[in-house]
Every structure is written in C-alpha cells, then in structure tokens.
Amino acid sequence: MWRFKALPAPGEPAASSWGAPEALAHGGGSFWTPVSVDRLNNLVFIPVGNPAPDFFGDVRPGADLNTNAMAVLDLQTGKPVWVTQFVAHDVHDWDLTQTGPLLSATVKGKPRNIVAVSGKDGRLRLVDRDSHETVFDIVLARQQNVAAPVTVGGVHVCPGLLGGQEWSSSTYDPVRHLVISPMVNWCGTAHRDATTPVHKVGEHYYGGKIVQDPIDQARGVLSAVDVASGTVRWRMENPAPMLANVTATAGGLVFAGDLKGTLFAINSDDGSVLLRHPLGSSAGGGMITYAVAGKQYLAVVSGPVSVFFPGGKGETAVTVFAVP
C-alpha cells in the first residue's frame, strides 16, 4: 500500500542537515518496534533509530534530521504528518526506541492527548499529539558526559550503548495516571576511529566502538511518572537490567521482569514489590494479562535475550500464571 523511508532524499529540505549528500547513502535511521496506532485520527507513530556511522559524526555534520526521531504518518498513505527529532547529531548510539503508549489525561492542568516517547538516552518525553509540544522531558537513567564529544582515546558515557530504554515497552496506568518505564543503567567508554570510516556491506558501520562497563555493574530501574505533573512518583532499583515489557492492571499491579529471570509484581501506588518469582530464563519479551471464564491469567515470555546482553539465560518459554 505504501512505503516510508526515514532518511530524507537528496534535495529535500532535511537533507542539508547531513552535510554532503553521500552521507545519506548509509545514514542509518533504522526502525525500532513497536509502533503505535491512533485509530481515531488514522495516524501511526514510528520510532526511528540512530544515524550512521554511530560514533564518527564528522562525515554527517549537522543535526542529521529524521534520525532519533518520532515520525507520525498518515495510516492510509504513509505520508509524514509531522516528524520530531529528540537527539540531534547523535554520536553515542542513542536510538529512539519507543513511541507509546498513547494516552489522554489532564497534563499541566489541561486535557491533552499524549504520546510517551523514550529511548536509549534514558529520558522519557510526554509529547502533546495535537500541538506537537514536548510537555515534559524527564531523566530516568543515569546521565554522564551526555554532551561530550567522542574521542579516539575514549570518553565514559551514561547511558552506554546498551543503556536507557531498549526494546522494552512502557505501560500506562489510567487509574493512577502513571507512565511506568523500564530502563537500564549501564555505562560504557565510547571511542571514535582515528581515520574516516569506510562503509562495507555486511559489516557494522560504527566509525568507532564502545566498551561497556562490566556486566555486573549493569542495573535496572523501573520508574513511575505522574503525567499530570511530570514528576517521578516512585522508582524501583534492581540489580539486573530491566528488559521485559511492562504491564499495568486496573487492580493496581504492575508486572515487570529482568535479565536474571525474575518476574516482579509491583504495587502501582508506591512501587513496593509484592511478588518475586523465578522464571528459569531471562525476562526480555512481552507479558499480557487476560481473562477466561471470569478467571484472570498472566502470560510471560522469557528466554535468551540478545548477544549484546551477557548473562541472558535459559530456553525460550511462555509461563502462564493464574490469579488465585
């Protein structure tokens, strides 16, 4: 039906933000999932990832528009309705990974339609879907040297390549008006190449590298943000990265999971942990709650997570719990 390409074509207004036209030929801007659909207005919200090469910005001077951005498209035609970039000229591999959930609430004292936007830079933005204004920009993961240029010798940055919010989706509790987001506190030392990188098919086009801190220094954090005020109502610190999707229930429970394979049931009011249950394999996928014949269940996907996350363990499984 339609096809949308994130990067601007040569000659389009946004192309000038890339410097030389050839920078667009291998400019990155890959797509993360999931997308969010506003069926009432026939819009789809798409997260767009980082520019390439990741750590060598000299070959793409300027803002590198349309990367690390939210693209809002017409659902029927695929034409961009509006695009907002959240990390300009990225040299830290801080993909934008989440454009959801979509919600409607009283924010800053007025009714608003909001999209929650977050990514590997460890920040949560609440963006007005009608005015396109960023109403709140909240830091949820550790920040260090966020504006520092990457050097050949290396600069220690937080979040690192595998920090912030990865593919794991946030949830919205409409009863308590909370966006609850899983993050990873894991830093690393970023290096740029000493010479201009050359793109080669089949190889990473990094233009440098990042050496992550030891995995035993990686931590997880689950934060609940009050959408009315943009303040963090509670935080749950965890000794392992939080990589599973998060699910909220009307009964005031939040379900989350971590790299070590622990399922958590958390009190949505204050962030206290009500249940820890070992899954036998890493929690890095989705979890859903549903009812059959009046009985409520929770299904959790677990298993090996990613070659980038050492410590992921176990065989792929779906574990189903029944509420007593």
Report domain extents, the chain. Answer: 13-242, 257-324
CA distance 36 to 128: 15
CA atoms in the 13 A half-sphere facing the CB of 266: 28
Fold of 13-242: Methanol Dehydrogenase; Chain A (2.140.10)
Distance CA 126, CA 135 (A): 6
The type of residue at 113 is N
Residue 308 has pLDDT above 90, yes or no: no
Cα separation, 246 vs 240, whole angstroms: 15
d(CA 135, CA 238): 29
Mean pLDDT value across residues 192-198: 96
Whether the pLDDT of residue 126 is over 90: the answer is: yes
Kindly write down the DSSP assignment for every residue of 227-265, as one continuous string: TTTTEEEEEEEESS---S--EE-TTSEEEEE-TT-EEEE
For the cut 90, the answer to whether the pLDDT of residue 241 exceeds it is yes
Q: Name the token pair of 180.
A: 């609850």
pLDDT bracket for residue 232 (50, 70, 90): very high
**Residue 128 confidence class, pLDDT cut points 50, 70, 90:** very high
The span from the CA of 21 to the CA of 84, in Å, is 21
The pLDDT-based confidence of 68 (bands split at 50, 70, 90) is very high
CA distances from 147 to 155, 157, 272, 298, 320 (A): 11, 9, 35, 42, 44
Amino acid letter, 176:
R
